[in-house]
């Protein structure tokens, strides 16, 4: 009996490399100072091969080139017309890191994927690889009881590791494809292990993201219907979870438990989690400063990386404002930024309505769960969530438009 092995397409290779790139950066590229260019070069080279393959229908992907042209112009205008921004060319989380990580290239990576089933089949395998990688990374904390984290040229020791936490969360999301789509219920084992790891060594934001993804899965994947009521319930539920996991919420829970004569190690560990990027007090200060910039700044905004110098000046060296919507508003102003936020919501809602098959909905839910991080941390220039989600939405809406034209006119 012959065993046929399906050869991966160049689109699948591009997709697999893109989502496993943290492994190659950590194991290879980070070891050599000049190797930072290799990751974006590999992604762009694979992308170029896909474009050559699809050259006969290139007009369908013209939006990719428009997006990257706009990005280039935005950064060119900001960095070369403003001498104060030159420090962010090489500063940590600056332009160099943005290009090195290449997450914004996710728009093109997902746009050229023509089949959602193939995307899911690839991502579930990637999930296994990522899970093994992050499990091996956790041996340090299992052995010593803390993480050694190098950032801004300094080594810090912490019981929590936010980048590991979001990394293992992404692997959980991808592995969940086996469970939800393929009904391989034994794959609940690595998911449970990953969640336990997040509970002990991870971050509160990751827990909220996983809850958000689970609620989306129950509300939309199983029912197959998109209702405004579902969005309202999700918003209320997620707001409640965010409050419960905030310092104030955890203090209230801790006080109640103490009065009942109960001490929760889990609640205490969350309250005592002092990762410099995870403390909500620091975020509140950043959000207040960013909102002040938005209300007092020009209506067209400060441009890309607009808040970086101000946030940096108050001692927050990563520079970004830890919230997607605030970053849109500070970058593009309360007029254009608000339009961008509204358009994002409209596109998401229309995509859920247009996505008739469950696999497409599942893919959209996974990408939204990854994007959720941007509500509490990181920057959309340094994380893939927005780019891959919007690209998938564009694919969904284009497919729905084509199918609508094919329907017979009554």
Render pLDDT for 150-209 as a digit per residue (tens, 0 to 9): 766 677 777 778 888 899 999 999 999 999 999 899 999 999 999 888 877 777 788 888
Mean pLDDT of 399-407: 78
Mean pLDDT of 385-398: 96
Alpha-carbon span 399 to 392, nearest angstrom:
11
Which pLDDT does position 316 carry in this prediction? 79
Which pLDDT does position 144 carry in this prediction? 75
**3 lies in a domain?**
no
Residue scoring higher pLDDT (126 or 237)? 126
Which pLDDT does position 124 carry in this prediction? 96
Dihedral, CA of residue 122, residue 204, residue 21 and residue 326, to nearest 10: 100
The Cβ of residue 109 has, within 10 Å, a number of other Cβ atoms equal to 25
The boundaries of the domain holding residue 93 are: 10-406
Residue 151 host element (H or E)? strand 147-151
Alpha-carbon span 317 to 273, nearest angstrom:
20
Q: Which of 88-97, 144-153, 230-239, 335-344 has the lowest mean pLDDT?
A: 230-239
Structure tokens at 214: 């689970």
**397 lies in a domain?**
yes
Q: Which residues pair with 156 in a beta bridge?
A: 149
Which pLDDT does position 274 carry in this prediction? 42
**4 lies in a domain?**
no
Alpha-carbon span 247 to 253, nearest angstrom:
10
pLDDT band at 260 (very low <50, low <70, confident <90, very high): low
Number of domains, the chain:
1
**330 lies in a domain?**
yes
Question: From the CA atom positions of the chain, what is the Rg in Å?
Answer: 22
CB 346 within 8 A of CB 390: no
Mean pLDDT of 9-31: 92
CB 395 within 8 A of CB 350: no
**181 lies in a domain?**
yes
Share of residues in the chain with pLDDT > 70 (%): 82
**90 lies in a domain?**
yes
Which pLDDT does position 235 carry in this prediction? 65
Alpha-carbon span 289 to 281, nearest angstrom:
13
Please identify which residue in the block is written with the tokens 């336990």.
196
Mean pLDDT of 373-398: 94
**353 lies in a domain?**
yes
Structure tokens at 332: 């593009």
Task: Please give the DSSP secondary-structure letter assigned to residue 202.
Answer: S
pLDDT over 60 at 395, yes or no: yes
CB 275 within 8 A of CB 161: yes
Alpha-carbon span 179 to 175, nearest angstrom:
7
Q: What secondary structure does DSSP assign to 32-70, as a single string?
A: SGGGGGHHHHHHHHHHHHHHHHTGGGGGGGHHHHHHHHH
Residues 6+ positions from 316 with CB-CB distance below 8 Å: 282, 285, 286
pLDDT band at 20 (very low <50, low <70, confident <90, very high): very high
CA triplet 289, 294, 299: central angle to 5 degrees?
Answer: 160
pLDDT over 50 at 263, yes or no: no
pLDDT over 90 at 265, yes or no: no
CB 162 within 8 A of CB 208: no
CB 244 within 8 A of CB 204: no
**172 lies in a domain?**
yes
Alpha-carbon span 241 to 235, nearest angstrom:
10
Q: Which of 71-75, 112-116, 194-198, 391-395 has the lowest mean pLDDT?
A: 194-198
Per-residue pLDDT tens over the stretch 313-350: 887 778 889 899 999 999 999 899 999 999 999 999 99
Q: Which phi and psi angles does 151 have, rounded to 5°?
A: -150, 140
pLDDT band at 409 (very low <50, low <70, confident <90, very high): low
């Amino acid at each position: 009996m012959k065993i046929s092995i399906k050869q991966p397409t160049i689109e699948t290779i591009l997709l697999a490399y893109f989502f496993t790139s943290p492994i190659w950066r950590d194991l290879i590229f980070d070891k050599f100072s000049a190797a930072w260019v290799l990751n974006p070069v590999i992604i762009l080279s694979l992308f170029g091969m896909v474009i050559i393959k699809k050259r006969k229908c290139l007009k369908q992907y013209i939006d990719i080139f428009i997006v990257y042209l706009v990005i280039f112009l935005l950064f060119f205008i900001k960095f070369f017309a403003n001498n104060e921004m030159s420090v962010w060319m090489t500063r940590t989380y600056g332009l160099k890191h943005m290009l090195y990580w290449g997450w914004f290239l996710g728009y093109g990576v997902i746009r050229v994927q023509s089949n959602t089933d193939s995307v899911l089949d690839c991502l579930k395998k990637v999930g296994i690889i990522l899970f093994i990688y992050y499990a091996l990374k956790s041996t340090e904390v299992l052995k010593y009881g803390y993480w050694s984290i190098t950032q801004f040229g300094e080594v810090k020791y912490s019981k929590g590791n936010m980048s590991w936490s979001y990394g293992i969360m992404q692997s959980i999301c991808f592995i969940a494809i086996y469970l939800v789509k393929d009904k391989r219920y034994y794959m609940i084992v690595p998911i449970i292990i990953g969640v336990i790891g997040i509970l002990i060594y991870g971050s509160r934001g990751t827990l909220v993201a996983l809850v958000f993804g689970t609620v989306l899965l129950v509300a939309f994947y199983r029912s197959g219907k998109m209702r405004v009521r579902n969005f309202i319930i999700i918003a209320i539920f997620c707001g409640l979870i965010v409050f419960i996991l905030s310092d104030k919420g955890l203090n209230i829970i801790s006080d109640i438990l103490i009065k009942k004569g109960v001490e929760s190690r889990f609640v205490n560990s969350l309250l005592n989690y002092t990762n410099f990027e995870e403390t909500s007090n620091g975020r509140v200060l950043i959000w207040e400063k960013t909102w002040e910039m938005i209300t007092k700044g020009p209506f067209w905004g400060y441009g890309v990386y607009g808040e970086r110098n101000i946030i940096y000046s108050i001692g927050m060296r990563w520079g970004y404002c830890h919230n997607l919507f605030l970053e849109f508003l500070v970058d593009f102003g309360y007029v254009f930024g608000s339009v961008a936020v509204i358009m994002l919501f409209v596109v998401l809602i229309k995509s859920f309505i247009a996505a008739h098959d469950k696999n497409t909905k599942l893919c959209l839910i996974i990408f939204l769960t990854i994007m959720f991080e941007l509500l509490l941390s990181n920057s959309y220039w340094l994380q893939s969530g927005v780019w891959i989600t919007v690209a998938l939405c564009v694919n969904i809406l284009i497919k729905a438009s084509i199918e609508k034209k094919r329907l017979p006119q009554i």
